Structure 1
């Protein structure tokens, strides 16, 4: 009987892949900030229903959730590199379709473009797992954090492109920003061309153990990793989706809202320089727990006032909290599977995380319209407590599975 298995890449190739993925993250990671910064504002221009103004951002997250499992299938069938190259082409199409929707004043076409951008993001989000494909233990944690550093560059590129290109097409605000989104996908294509995959060999007469997914899902360790990722990413998206609209609604400018998102995304990825080392030293569960505490603190700041400083400080705390919580959760997931189980375990995790994120994003717009900015932030506190308690309990008992 022949069993296919992956041969780990040499350490030098693994490091090279991590840097390639970091650069690709710099381009691909800027895809979402453009939609997040402008989706609600363009929605205000194109939608007649005020409850639908954040629908374009929500569809970004829906596309991300729906694209997760197809992306896993493509990469498992054709390899990481081929899948990622396809992803960049989807990213190019997304920017072009969204720009077309703005040019022709079609809310439906614009929403199609932002949903397609979510499908591109489903590939970009898996860069973090790809960095850990050929490493384990502390090196895997550092590789995951290193790739997330690329988001720091994306945090600068995305919002700045919004500011620089929003009037690039004369008489049609924001169309130029989505054309620049398409250009970012084009720039990522040649970078990912140089990605090297693990070689696949066959092993005669041996059986590679692979547990059913349902059995893996019954593991408390895996369930806690998923819950941590769901709460970290879900709450971050829930608040971030509503924040630009809330800022403009409280009398702040579009540029201040875009810069607030930029500071937020800088805070999301900036700590990645040290997150890997912190996890090695203190443990991924402890780092994730601190992340959830910071997310709770961001809600407290948001509830304390409506000045620009309140919004920006809240968004920064939210970003750092997401970094610790989500990277910690990613490392927790990476410890819950064998190489043979990798695709389905990672795919199930991302489907559940980003499916929840999509639901959070959809509810943010209508809740902001019906109940206000304060209600959104009050919801954060019990959600944090729900996962923080078992996470702290797990961190105190690291050997329990």
Structure 2
């Protein structure tokens, strides 16, 4: 596999397999986003700790990101991603059992393990870019993210029906979406394990890498690219998780039912992934840095809209969450492209896993802090603080990103 034509054909096949798995994994990750905070509030009996699930499964995704990255570095994407989805499925099943037994310790442990599915879902975007040409890398990442939209939008809208199914079997309604996540992660893992052959990362190591600099050049630009991409994704993840996690709690406190909450979250997740086809083109054509700057501005707009939206206005809350998802998408696609540009195939998976570890830790911190901040202040204050923090992306990528 040394010709350009063969490489392009394998890249297209790899994209098809990864995209098929993402349809199912998207439904799996949506469960915790939609009802995780509500389940914690119900089982813990307080809203001040309702951000704990997001913190736990995001913290679990941090460990999983590191481990999946290391496992992929040694054995390839196929084994690493399949193992990550298997762990996510195990965690989802544990949450269902914990809800049925009313066991808080089992719930907390299971949410940690469940986070592996979230980390794996994000790491799959790297598999789509392993064999892509540098000038089309943004579009390759985007293609993987777009297919996640299908499951991620369907998942939250199945909250009511899966809840009824759970109650039919004597389980709490909020356990239903986690049962769906378990099944979805199993299917995604099986697809990758059986069909992702030959492994794109292992093949990329044996191919000429035109994106690598010539011998004797300074490594500083590559380092700047990795740091700029990492900071972009870390800040956008922190802000997105913090505001998104508290939105269902805020809506329930003001009388909105699960159907309305599921609609708002599904629109948010659609905005996280669906714009990726356009985002990828923008990243490839106008550059990584301008798109990263746009992410900070968009997240500020999201914070302002959510802070000023009337408590009973589902349309305005939906608009705020759509902007929140779009800002995250702009940051993720541009940041991923920066890092993949800078990281050579020989160490790419390890670097990507470490960066995703930092992203997950930022999300964990945002999830845990969000409940405390909202309890101490308000949802509006949390939203504005997140928007202002997101602006930190701009000066950083303007200095580091342009240097890279």
Q: TM-score, normalised by structure 2?
A: 0.89
- Ranges in structure 1 where 5+ consecutive residues have no aligned partner: 1-5
Partner residue of 2:227 out of 216, 223, 229: 223
Q: 1:251 is paired with a residue of what secondary structure?
A: coil
Contact 1:33/1:158, CA 8 A, preserved across alignment: yes
Instruction: Give the aligned partner of residue 379 of structure 1.
Output: 385
Gaps of 5+ in 2: none
Q: For 2:351 and 2:342, locate their aligned partners in 1 and report how far apart those are by CA, in whole Å.
A: 8
User: What is the Cα deviation at residue 343 of structure 1?
Assistant: 2.1
Query: Which of 45, 54, 67 lines up with 1:70 in the alignment?
Result: 67
Measured on the aligned residues, the alpha-carbon RMSD in Å equals 2.5
The structure 2 residue matched to 1:319, chosen from 305, 320, 325, is 325
Q: 1:81 to 1:308 in 2, by over 3 A?
A: same
After TM superposition, list the pairs within 5 Å mapping 1:1-400 onto structure 2. Answer: 10-169=7-166, 170=168, 171-172=170-171, 173-192=173-192, 193-196=194-197, 197-198=199-200, 199=202, 219-305=223-309, 306=311, 307-392=313-398, 398=402, 400=403
Aligned residues: 386
Alpha-carbon distance change, 189 to 32 in structure 1, aligned in 2, over 3 angstroms? closer
Contact 1:167 1:175 in 2 (8 A): no
Greater CA deviation, 14-23 or 342-351?
342-351
CA contact (8 A) 2:15 2:144 kept: yes
Q: Is the 8 A contact 2:300 2:390 kept in 1?
A: yes
Provide the rounded CA distance (Å) in 1 between the counterparts of 2:222 and 2:11. 32
Cα distance in 2 between the residues matched to 1:250 and 1:368: 14
Structure-2 separation of matches of 1:241 and 1:217: 36
Are the counterparts in 2 of residues 159 and 262 from structure 1 also a CA contact under 8 Å? yes
Structure 1 residue 202: Cα displacement = 8.1
Question: Comparing 385-394 with 105-114, which one deviates more in the overlay?
Answer: 385-394
SS in 1 for 2:308: coil
Q: 1:369 to 1:216 in 2, by over 3 A?
A: farther
Larger helix share, 1 or 2: 2
Change in Cα spacing, 1:202 to 1:148, as seen in structure 2 (3 Å) is closer
Contact kept in structure 1, 2:73 and 2:347, CA below 8 Å = no
